Structure 1
Amino acid sequence: MGKVEQREAEIALAQERERIRPDDLGAVLATRNQVERKAMRKGRLRRFLGDIRTMFDMLRDYWNGSYRAVPWYSIAAIAGALLYIFNPLDMVPDLILTFGLVDDAAVTAACLRMVSGDLDAYRRWRAGRKATETKPAP
Protein backbone atom coordinates (compact mmCIF):
# COMPACT_ATOMS: atom_id res chain seq x y z
CA MET A 1 0.00 0.00 0.00
CA GLY A 2 1.40 3.34 -1.03
CA LYS A 3 1.62 6.42 1.18
CA VAL A 4 -1.12 8.17 -0.79
CA GLU A 5 -3.51 5.23 -0.51
CA GLN A 6 -2.68 4.87 3.19
CA ARG A 7 -3.45 8.53 3.86
CA GLU A 8 -6.68 8.35 1.85
CA ALA A 9 -7.71 5.25 3.80
CA GLU A 10 -7.05 7.05 7.08
CA ILE A 11 -9.16 10.00 5.94
CA ALA A 12 -11.99 7.73 4.76
CA LEU A 13 -11.89 5.87 8.06
CA ALA A 14 -11.92 9.11 10.06
CA GLN A 15 -14.98 10.28 8.12
CA GLU A 16 -16.78 7.01 8.85
CA ARG A 17 -15.72 6.98 12.49
CA GLU A 18 -17.18 10.45 13.02
CA ARG A 19 -20.57 9.32 11.68
CA ILE A 20 -20.93 6.33 14.02
CA ARG A 21 -23.22 6.63 17.04
CA PRO A 22 -23.91 4.01 19.74
CA ASP A 23 -27.35 3.36 18.23
CA ASP A 24 -25.66 2.31 14.96
CA LEU A 25 -23.90 -0.74 16.42
CA GLY A 26 -26.88 -3.07 16.00
CA ALA A 27 -27.06 -2.21 12.30
CA VAL A 28 -23.31 -2.77 11.92
CA LEU A 29 -23.59 -6.16 13.62
CA ALA A 30 -26.38 -7.11 11.20
CA THR A 31 -23.92 -6.80 8.29
CA ARG A 32 -21.59 -9.52 9.61
CA ASN A 33 -22.48 -12.29 7.15
CA GLN A 34 -22.28 -10.00 4.12
CA VAL A 35 -18.97 -8.47 5.22
CA GLU A 36 -17.43 -11.88 5.91
CA ARG A 37 -18.59 -13.18 2.51
CA LYS A 38 -17.12 -10.12 0.80
CA ALA A 39 -13.84 -10.59 2.69
CA MET A 40 -13.66 -14.23 1.59
CA ARG A 41 -14.10 -13.22 -2.06
CA LYS A 42 -11.72 -10.27 -2.25
CA GLY A 43 -8.03 -11.16 -2.41
CA ARG A 44 -6.55 -8.16 -0.59
CA LEU A 45 -9.29 -8.23 2.02
CA ARG A 46 -9.17 -12.00 2.60
CA ARG A 47 -5.98 -11.74 4.65
CA PHE A 48 -7.92 -9.67 7.22
CA LEU A 49 -10.80 -12.15 7.65
CA GLY A 50 -9.69 -13.28 11.11
CA ASP A 51 -9.31 -9.68 12.26
CA ILE A 52 -12.69 -8.77 10.78
CA ARG A 53 -14.30 -11.60 12.74
CA THR A 54 -12.58 -10.40 15.91
CA MET A 55 -13.78 -6.85 15.26
CA PHE A 56 -17.35 -8.09 14.94
CA ASP A 57 -16.99 -10.15 18.13
CA MET A 58 -15.65 -7.14 20.02
CA LEU A 59 -18.48 -4.93 18.74
CA ARG A 60 -21.03 -7.54 19.79
CA ASP A 61 -19.56 -7.84 23.27
CA TYR A 62 -19.38 -4.06 23.59
CA TRP A 63 -22.96 -3.68 22.35
CA ASN A 64 -24.36 -6.26 24.76
CA GLY A 65 -22.35 -4.80 27.65
CA SER A 66 -20.12 -7.78 28.40
CA TYR A 67 -16.93 -5.97 27.32
CA ARG A 68 -16.47 -2.27 27.94
CA ALA A 69 -12.69 -2.01 28.44
CA VAL A 70 -12.27 -0.17 25.16
CA PRO A 71 -12.59 3.52 24.27
CA TRP A 72 -15.50 4.66 22.14
CA TYR A 73 -12.96 5.98 19.63
CA SER A 74 -11.87 2.40 18.85
CA ILE A 75 -15.42 1.06 18.70
CA ALA A 76 -16.40 3.85 16.29
CA ALA A 77 -13.31 3.21 14.12
CA ILE A 78 -14.10 -0.52 13.94
CA ALA A 79 -17.77 0.10 13.14
CA GLY A 80 -16.79 2.66 10.50
CA ALA A 81 -14.34 0.27 8.84
CA LEU A 82 -16.88 -2.57 8.81
CA LEU A 83 -19.53 -0.32 7.27
CA TYR A 84 -17.01 0.83 4.69
CA ILE A 85 -16.42 -2.79 3.72
CA PHE A 86 -20.15 -3.50 3.67
CA ASN A 87 -21.08 -0.62 1.41
CA PRO A 88 -20.80 -1.66 -2.25
CA LEU A 89 -20.00 1.94 -3.16
CA ASP A 90 -17.29 2.09 -0.48
CA MET A 91 -19.01 5.21 0.85
CA VAL A 92 -17.24 7.18 -1.88
CA PRO A 93 -18.02 6.07 -5.42
CA ASP A 94 -15.01 5.02 -7.48
CA LEU A 95 -15.85 7.75 -9.96
CA ILE A 96 -14.66 10.40 -7.51
CA LEU A 97 -10.94 10.84 -7.97
CA THR A 98 -8.53 10.01 -5.18
CA PHE A 99 -10.86 9.00 -2.34
CA GLY A 100 -13.06 6.87 -4.60
CA LEU A 101 -10.19 4.50 -5.28
CA VAL A 102 -9.52 3.67 -1.64
CA ASP A 103 -9.76 -0.07 -1.26
CA ASP A 104 -11.63 -1.94 1.50
CA ALA A 105 -8.35 -3.60 2.50
CA ALA A 106 -6.62 -0.22 2.89
CA VAL A 107 -9.38 1.05 5.19
CA THR A 108 -9.27 -2.21 7.16
CA ALA A 109 -5.49 -1.96 7.50
CA ALA A 110 -5.78 1.65 8.67
CA CYS A 111 -8.33 0.61 11.26
CA LEU A 112 -6.17 -2.27 12.48
CA ARG A 113 -3.20 0.07 12.91
CA MET A 114 -5.39 2.38 14.94
CA VAL A 115 -6.98 -0.22 17.24
CA SER A 116 -4.44 -3.06 17.37
CA GLY A 117 -3.77 -2.62 21.10
CA ASP A 118 -7.48 -2.65 21.89
CA LEU A 119 -8.02 -5.76 19.76
CA ASP A 120 -5.11 -7.50 21.49
CA ALA A 121 -6.58 -6.64 24.91
CA TYR A 122 -9.95 -7.95 23.77
CA ARG A 123 -8.40 -11.21 22.55
CA ARG A 124 -6.72 -11.69 25.94
CA TRP A 125 -10.00 -10.95 27.74
CA ARG A 126 -11.89 -13.38 25.53
CA ALA A 127 -9.26 -16.10 25.96
CA GLY A 128 -9.40 -15.68 29.74
CA ARG A 129 -13.17 -15.79 29.69
CA LYS A 130 -13.19 -18.97 27.60
CA ALA A 131 -10.64 -20.55 29.93
CA THR A 132 -12.84 -19.91 32.96
CA GLU A 133 -15.94 -21.17 31.15
CA THR A 134 -14.26 -24.46 30.29
CA LYS A 135 -12.74 -25.10 33.72
CA PRO A 136 -14.26 -28.15 35.36
CA ALA A 137 -16.20 -27.49 38.52
CA PRO A 138 -14.38 -28.54 41.73
Structure 2
Amino acid sequence: MKKPAGFDRYLALAERFLARGRVPALLFAVARKSARLKLVKADLRLLQELALATVRGQYRQLNPRALLAVVAALLYFLSPLDMIPDWLPGVGLLDDLAVLAWVVRHWQVELDAFKVWRDAQSREIRQSLALLPGPERPSRG
Protein backbone atom coordinates (compact mmCIF):
# COMPACT_ATOMS: atom_id res chain seq x y z
CA MET A 1 0.00 0.00 0.00
CA LYS A 2 1.41 3.36 -1.08
CA LYS A 3 1.75 6.37 1.19
CA PRO A 4 -1.30 8.61 0.74
CA ALA A 5 -0.90 11.64 -1.50
CA GLY A 6 -0.25 14.83 0.44
CA PHE A 7 0.74 12.95 3.60
CA ASP A 8 4.27 14.42 3.63
CA ARG A 9 2.79 17.84 4.42
CA TYR A 10 1.20 16.35 7.53
CA LEU A 11 4.48 14.69 8.54
CA ALA A 12 6.11 18.13 8.62
CA LEU A 13 3.20 19.51 10.63
CA ALA A 14 3.46 16.56 13.03
CA GLU A 15 7.13 17.38 13.67
CA ARG A 16 6.11 20.89 14.77
CA PHE A 17 3.30 19.55 16.97
CA LEU A 18 5.68 17.14 18.69
CA ALA A 19 8.37 19.79 19.14
CA ARG A 20 5.90 22.23 20.69
CA GLY A 21 4.26 19.70 23.01
CA ARG A 22 0.86 20.14 21.35
CA VAL A 23 -0.03 16.44 21.11
CA PRO A 24 -2.43 16.48 24.11
CA ALA A 25 -4.52 19.23 22.48
CA LEU A 26 -4.51 17.26 19.24
CA LEU A 27 -5.69 14.12 21.02
CA PHE A 28 -8.54 16.01 22.64
CA ALA A 29 -9.68 17.45 19.30
CA VAL A 30 -9.49 14.05 17.59
CA ALA A 31 -11.54 12.48 20.40
CA ARG A 32 -14.26 15.09 19.90
CA LYS A 33 -14.41 14.48 16.14
CA SER A 34 -14.12 10.69 16.36
CA ALA A 35 -17.04 10.39 18.78
CA ARG A 36 -19.30 10.46 15.70
CA LEU A 37 -17.49 7.63 13.92
CA LYS A 38 -18.12 4.04 14.89
CA LEU A 39 -16.22 2.47 11.99
CA VAL A 40 -12.67 3.46 12.96
CA LYS A 41 -13.15 4.26 16.61
CA ALA A 42 -10.96 1.37 17.83
CA ASP A 43 -8.08 2.27 15.50
CA LEU A 44 -8.31 5.94 16.42
CA ARG A 45 -8.36 5.09 20.12
CA LEU A 46 -5.30 2.88 19.72
CA LEU A 47 -3.39 5.63 17.89
CA GLN A 48 -4.39 8.16 20.54
CA GLU A 49 -3.30 5.89 23.40
CA LEU A 50 0.00 5.17 21.66
CA ALA A 51 0.72 8.87 21.13
CA LEU A 52 -0.27 9.71 24.70
CA ALA A 53 1.85 6.97 26.30
CA THR A 54 4.81 7.98 24.14
CA VAL A 55 4.68 11.73 24.79
CA ARG A 56 4.21 11.05 28.52
CA GLY A 57 7.36 8.95 28.42
CA GLN A 58 5.55 5.83 29.60
CA TYR A 59 6.13 3.89 26.39
CA ARG A 60 9.66 4.21 25.05
CA GLN A 61 9.95 1.41 22.48
CA LEU A 62 8.23 3.26 19.64
CA ASN A 63 10.15 4.04 16.48
CA PRO A 64 10.25 7.87 16.26
CA ARG A 65 9.12 7.68 12.62
CA ALA A 66 6.07 5.70 13.72
CA LEU A 67 5.17 8.39 16.26
CA LEU A 68 5.57 11.02 13.56
CA ALA A 69 3.28 9.05 11.22
CA VAL A 70 0.67 8.55 13.96
CA VAL A 71 0.59 12.26 14.82
CA ALA A 72 0.47 13.16 11.12
CA ALA A 73 -2.46 10.79 10.58
CA LEU A 74 -4.32 12.31 13.53
CA LEU A 75 -3.67 15.79 12.13
CA TYR A 76 -4.92 14.69 8.72
CA PHE A 77 -8.02 13.20 10.32
CA LEU A 78 -8.66 16.45 12.16
CA SER A 79 -8.14 18.71 9.15
CA PRO A 80 -11.46 19.59 7.50
CA LEU A 81 -9.74 20.60 4.25
CA ASP A 82 -7.64 17.76 2.95
CA MET A 83 -7.80 15.74 -0.27
CA ILE A 84 -11.59 15.39 0.08
CA PRO A 85 -13.15 18.10 2.28
CA ASP A 86 -14.86 16.58 5.32
CA TRP A 87 -18.05 18.57 4.80
CA LEU A 88 -18.93 16.65 1.61
CA PRO A 89 -21.70 14.25 2.69
CA GLY A 90 -20.97 10.57 2.25
CA VAL A 91 -17.44 10.94 0.90
CA GLY A 92 -15.81 13.62 3.03
CA LEU A 93 -14.16 11.21 5.43
CA LEU A 94 -13.03 8.60 2.89
CA ASP A 95 -9.54 10.08 2.53
CA ASP A 96 -9.25 10.38 6.32
CA LEU A 97 -10.12 6.70 6.68
CA ALA A 98 -7.62 5.79 3.96
CA VAL A 99 -4.82 7.66 5.74
CA LEU A 100 -5.67 6.03 9.06
CA ALA A 101 -5.80 2.60 7.41
CA TRP A 102 -2.42 3.22 5.77
CA VAL A 103 -0.77 4.21 9.06
CA VAL A 104 -2.31 1.25 10.91
CA ARG A 105 -1.23 -1.18 8.19
CA HIS A 106 2.23 0.34 7.64
CA TRP A 107 3.06 0.44 11.37
CA GLN A 108 1.17 -2.72 12.40
CA VAL A 109 4.22 -4.30 14.08
CA GLU A 110 4.72 -1.19 16.22
CA LEU A 111 1.02 -1.08 17.09
CA ASP A 112 1.00 -4.76 18.04
CA ALA A 113 4.04 -4.24 20.29
CA PHE A 114 2.30 -1.29 21.95
CA LYS A 115 -0.85 -3.36 22.56
CA VAL A 116 1.24 -6.07 24.26
CA TRP A 117 2.93 -3.42 26.43
CA ARG A 118 -0.38 -1.67 27.23
CA ASP A 119 -2.13 -4.89 28.15
CA ALA A 120 0.72 -5.82 30.52
CA GLN A 121 0.44 -2.53 32.43
CA SER A 122 -1.35 -1.96 35.71
CA ARG A 123 -5.01 -1.10 35.72
CA GLU A 124 -4.17 2.49 36.69
CA ILE A 125 -1.89 3.01 33.67
CA ARG A 126 -4.43 1.48 31.30
CA GLN A 127 -7.12 3.74 32.74
CA SER A 128 -4.87 6.81 32.45
CA LEU A 129 -4.35 6.05 28.75
CA ALA A 130 -8.10 5.76 28.26
CA LEU A 131 -8.58 9.22 29.77
CA LEU A 132 -7.41 11.51 27.04
CA PRO A 133 -6.14 14.95 28.04
CA GLY A 134 -8.58 17.83 28.09
CA PRO A 135 -8.21 20.97 26.02
CA GLU A 136 -5.25 23.14 26.84
CA ARG A 137 -6.10 26.43 28.42
CA PRO A 138 -4.03 29.48 27.62
CA SER A 139 -1.94 30.59 30.57
CA ARG A 140 -2.70 33.96 32.06
CA GLY A 141 0.27 36.20 32.09
Given the two structures, how large is their TM-score scaled by the length of structure 1? 0.70
Partner Cα separation in structure 2 for residue 38 and residue 20 of structure 1: 18
| Structure 1 residue ranges without an equivalent (≥5) | 1-5, 95-99, 134-138
Residues of 2 paired with 1:29 and 1:51: CA distance? 18
1:57 to 40, 49, 55: 49
Change (3 A) 1:132 1:52: closer
SS in 1 for 2:62: coil
Structure 1 residue 88, shift from structure 2 partner: 1.3
2:6 aligned to which of 12, 22, 34: 12
In the TM superposition, 1:1-138 aligns within 5 A as 7=2, 10-21=4-15, 22-24=18-20, 26-42=21-37, 46-90=38-82, 92=83, 94=85, 103-130=95-122
Q: What amino acid is the match of 2:35?
A: M
Equivalent pair of 1:58/1:122 in contact (CA under 8 Å)? yes
Between Structure 1 and Structure 2, the one with more helix by share is: 1
Secondary structure (helix, strand or coil) at the match of 2:119 reads: helix
Following TM superposition, where does structure 1 have runs of at least 4 consecutive aligned residues deviating by more than 6 angstroms? Answer: none
Contact 1:10 1:110 in 2 (8 A): yes
Aligned residues: 118
| Maintained 8 Å contact 2:14/2:75 | no
Matches of 1:41 and 1:101, distance apart in 2: 12
